[in-house]
């Protein structure tokens, strides 16, 4: 019968988390606290909008007073913190919002939670990008030193450090997760996999940065949501948990897989200028969460990517609305053809 506040619940992972959470915990209540930036979309939550166990509050995490009021008025006992600026390319062209939301916003949220006194768990959702870039071998463990290379990953690393300090200084019951690249339904079409699906469906070029051989570890979003749920309820406060799919792929192979599933030609691939500071390889050692909390991914990549492509085929209205709205201006300046 707990009430949890989810920040950034209208985004990609947050909305997948809420949809799953309400199904798995029908007696709990979820308060979705989200500023509805370009990345927030309440249509993702259409299936639960009338659920008596779901509430939406439009608010910025930098607004400490509104956060405090929302925690108190809803008798919140757990916070799952997804809200962030999340796109590396945007952090390169405009870092300000990343510093504001990811660092100051996390700080305001921590302060509101500290003052509240009723918060039993504060789960901070972070990324493997805080660890920097790997060479051809090796894995990120929870002990790998932070070495962020983009304004995005530097802002996330800063927020991880703040969260850590609230455990050691104020004994706040915080938990941090560092996850690899997610993919699945409701993924905003600026990110690699949905962008490639949508461009291929529109017979547009598929822009691959650099030589296409950068490696990411891909995890189906539902598996990430399951892991967060387990860490929230069973994790040890003060600990961090790496989450990954043990599924390393070169970008070019992801793009070719998408084209194959859609029956499209590889002639659509276009190698373009590399991302500045482009991390070469990420790979996660997820043995701690597997060993201590019993989590491992349920989806194979083959199943996850097929379901993802099918979702974009079945939900054209969802992404057509996005790419024909305000987002179009950004999209057109990034990917002029």
Which residues here bind ligand DAU, judged by CB under 6 A?
86-88, 127-129, 180-181, 191-192, 195, 207-209, 214, 216, 251, 275, 282
Options 34, 60, 85, 129, the catalytic residue: 129
Query: Is residue 57 within the footprint of ligand NAD (CB under 6 A)?
Result: no
> Does 90 help bind ligand NAD (rule: CB under 6 A)?
no
Q: Which of 91, 127, 150, 158 binds ligand NAD (CB under 6 A)?
A: 127
| Known catalytic residue at 51 | no
- Catalytic residue from among 85, 128, 229, 248: 128
Name residue, tokens 């004994």: 171
Complex with ligand DAU: residue 64 or 244, whichever CB lies closer: 244
Closest by CA position to 33, among listed 89, 80, 86: 80
User: Dihedral of CA 281/156/125/206: which sign?
Assistant: negative
Q: Which of 22, 110, 112, 125 binds ligand NAD (CB under 6 A)?
A: 125
Q: How far is the CB of 247 from ligand DAU (least distance, A)?
A: 12
Rounded to 5 degrees, what angle do the CA atoms 323, 14, 55 make?
105
Task: Please tell me the distance from the alpha carbon of residue 129 to that of residue 163, in angstroms, as a whole number.
Answer: 17
E-only strand ranges, the chain: 3-7, 29-34, 54-58, 78-81, 121-127, 174-179, 181-183, 206-209, 215-220, 240-243, 248-250, 269-272
Q: Catalytic: which of 152, 166, 183, 241?
A: 152
107 vs 140 by CB, closer to ligand DAU = 140
Give the separation between CA 23 and CA 222, rounded to whole angstroms: 13
Task: Say how many CA atoms lie within 13 Å of 313 toward its Cβ.
Answer: 11
CB of 163 to ligand NAD, least distance (A): 12
How far apart, in whole angstroms, are the C-alpha atoms of residue 87 and residue 127? Answer: 12
Q: Is 326 a catalytic residue?
A: no
Q: Which of 98, 122, 188, 312 binds ligand NAD (CB under 6 A)?
A: 188
Give the Å distances, CA to CA, from 183 to 111, 157, 221, 244, 254.
32, 22, 6, 12, 11
Residue closer to ligand DAU (CB basis): 112 or 179: 179
For residue 60, the partner it binds in ligand NAD, ligand DAU, none, with Cβ less than 5 to 8 A by kind, is ligand NAD
The answer to whether residue 320 is catalytic is no
Which residues of the chain form contacts with ligand NAD (CB under 6 A)? 7-8, 10-14, 34-37, 39-40, 60-62, 82-86, 101, 105, 125, 127, 156, 179, 181-182, 188
Residues identified as active-site:
128-129, 152
């Amino acid at each position: 019968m707990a009430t949890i506040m989810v920040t950034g619940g209208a985004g990609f992972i947050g909305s997948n988390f809420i949809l799953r959470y309400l199904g798995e915990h029908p007696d709990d209540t979820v308060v979705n606290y989200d500023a509805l930036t370009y990345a927030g979309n309440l249509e993702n939550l259409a299936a639960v909008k009338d659920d008596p166990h779901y509430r939406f509050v439009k608010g910025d995490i930098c607004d400490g007073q509104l956060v405090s009021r929302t925690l108190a008025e809803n008798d919140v006992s757990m916070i799952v913190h997804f809200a962030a600026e999340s796109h590396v390319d945007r952090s390169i062209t405009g870092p300000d919002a990343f510093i504001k939301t990811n660092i100051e916003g996390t700080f305001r949220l921590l302060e509101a939670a500290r003052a509240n006194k009723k918060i039993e768990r504060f789960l901070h959702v972070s990324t493997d990008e805080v660890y920097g870039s790997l060479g051809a071998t090796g894995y990120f463990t929870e002990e790998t030193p932070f070495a962020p290379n983009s304004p995005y990953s530097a802002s996330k690393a800063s927020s991880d450090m703040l969260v850590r300090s609230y455990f050691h200084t104020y004994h706040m019951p915080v938990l941090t997760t560092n996850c690899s690249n997610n993919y699945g339904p409701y993924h905003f079409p600026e990110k690699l996999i949905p962008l490639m699906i949508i461009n291929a469906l529109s017979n547009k070029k598929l822009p691959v940065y650099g030589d296409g051989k950068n490696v990411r570890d891909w995890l189906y979003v539902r598996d990430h949501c399951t892991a967060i749920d387990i860490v929230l309820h069973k994790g040890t406060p003060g600990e961090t948990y790496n989450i990954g799919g043990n599924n390393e792929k070169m970008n070019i192979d992801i793009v070719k897989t998408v084209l194959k599933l859609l029956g499209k030609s590889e002639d659509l691939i276009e190698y373009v200028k590399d991302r500045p500071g482009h991390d070469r390889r990420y790979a996660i050692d997820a043995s701690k969460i597997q060993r201590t909390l019993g989590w491992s991914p349920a989806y194979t990549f083959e199943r996850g990517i097929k379901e993802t492509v099918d979702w974009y085929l079945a939900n054209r209205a969802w992404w057509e609305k996005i790419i024909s709205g305000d987002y179009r201006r950004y999209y057109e300046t990034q990917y002029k053809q």
